[in-house]
Amino acid sequence: MKIAFINQPWSVAAPPQGSDSTGIWTYRIARCLVHFHQVIFYGCQSKDKKSNYCHDGIHYRAVSLIFDDILRPIRTLENKLKLNRKLPYFASTLFYFGYILQVALDLRRQQCDIIHIHNFSQFVPIIRAFNPRAKIVLHMHCEWLTQLNREAIARRLERADLIIGCSNHITNKIRDRFPSLAARCQTVYNGVDTTHFVPNNHQTTISSKDKPRLLFVGRVSPEKAIHLLIDAFVEVVKHYPQAQLEIIGPEAIVGKEFLTDLSDDPQITALAPFYSGSYLAHLKNRISPDLAPQIQFTGSLQQEKLLQHYWEADIVINPSLSEAFGMSLVEGMACEKPVIGARVGGMTEAIAPEVTGLLFESGNATALADAIVELLSDEQRRTSMGKAGRKRVTEMFSWEQIAQSLLEQYQSIL
């Protein structure tokens, strides 16, 4: 097969660096597929990269964003005026129209069997117009299809051959909203590199009785509810005075138009005050001076540098109020760490409750603190959960298994 991946317009056409989760997904899958198939990776142009080149068998094709930069003021104005809450500018045909038009024209020359689009449903009709015989896959890593204007989205989905959700949470919501298209909707989970994220079999970690370490890995953004984790940590310290909390990830805030303006969930809409000023600054101001030395903001780390931090943690935590999958939980489980996640979204599928970790009531700092204390008080249980987590990841979430699942979906539409 000849397969083209259309990344989000801000993903550089190169092996991903940093926290571009969809770019990482595409790259990892492409590395698996390229042994038996032709793979093209579309993304935006970078100053220090060639426009078109091949690396490790993957063909990278970079697209200029000059035209879309010219249209940027329209987006800024629309965001301020909020003219259409159910079909905002980012979901309109104009959003990165220059990017997708260039990709569509190039794809017409490539004659691909499969064209795989991430998140932006408005790209589907444009790709279809120039590539009528290709099979088009729309891959959703968020809930937009069930939050945006139903009629507009339905027209776009009719032109896709396969609609993928990164969790059953996403997929089932799409099926429920568009029952006539339910048969086209399938789940393909996110994956983890099980050869890199491995248990620490050589180093003795600090006993949780002395100085337990809690770890969060992800973007520093309001919907990730790090403020809730800090509030819970205040309670944990009453039981474990020397406990440590490490927060790894960049301050990379999802714009209100992408999340809070679309959501009907009161916990999400209540996040609005956090968007005035820096969320990171708000978090630091929330911490009392006597507790500050025990909370570390590490910032962004490359994936290869995360392993040591997972090894040093006693528990990996994701308190997010909105989470399509929960990548850090799976990475933590791959390292044989027990995990705690909010009972929301795809985290309920990543975690096997009471087996690989615990789920707590979303938005409830007391429930989160109780879950943390419960696991810190039982080292044997943490060890058992860690081993069960590693087993679950190797059976369900390795990149090789995800690639095979994806190929089966591709073959079903050819």
- Residue 172 in tokens: 């089932």
pLDDT on residue 314:
97
**What is the arrangement of strands in the sheet containing 114-118, beginning at the earlier edge strand?**
52-55, 58-63, 38-44, 2-6, 114-118, 135-140, 162-165, 185-187
- What is the token pair recorded at 214? 């809690």
CATH class entry, domain 213-396: alpha beta
Q: Enumerate residues 6+ apart whose C-beta is below 8 A from 172.
A: 165
Give the model confidence (pLDDT) of 19-64 as tens digits. 688 999 999 999 999 999 999 999 999 877 778 999 999 999 999 9
Residues 6 or more apart whose CB falls under 8 angstroms from that of 301 comprise 248, 309
Reduce the DSSP state of residue 241 to 3 states and report it: coil
- The 10 Å Cβ neighbour count of residue 71 is 15
Other C-beta atoms closer than 10 Å to the C-beta of 130 total: 16
Q: Cβ distance 77 to 96 under 8 Å?
A: no
Tokens 């038996």 correspond to what residue? Answer: 36
| Residue 193: alpha-carbon gap to chain centroid | 15
pLDDT at 284: 97
Residue 205's beta-bridge partner residues?
A: none
What token pair was written down for 86? Answer: 């159910």
- Angstrom distances, CA of residue 383 to CA of 208, 245, 327: 12, 20, 21
List the chain residues with pLDDT less than 50: 206
Sheet holding 213-217, edge to edge: 295-299, 244-248, 213-217, 315-318, 339-342, 357-360
213-396 has the same fold as 2-191+398-413:
yes
pTM for the model stands at 0.93
Domain boundaries, the chain: 2-191+398-413, 213-396
Fold of 2-191+398-413: Rossmann fold (3.40.50)
Can you tell me the distance from the alpha carbon of 32 to that of 28, in angstroms, rounded to the nearest whole number? 7
Give residue 394's pLDDT. 97
- Which long-range contacts link 272-281 to residues 24+ away (Cβ below 8 Å)? 274/222, 274/227, 275/222, 278/251, 279/220, 279/221, 279/222, 279/251, 279/253, 280/220, 280/251
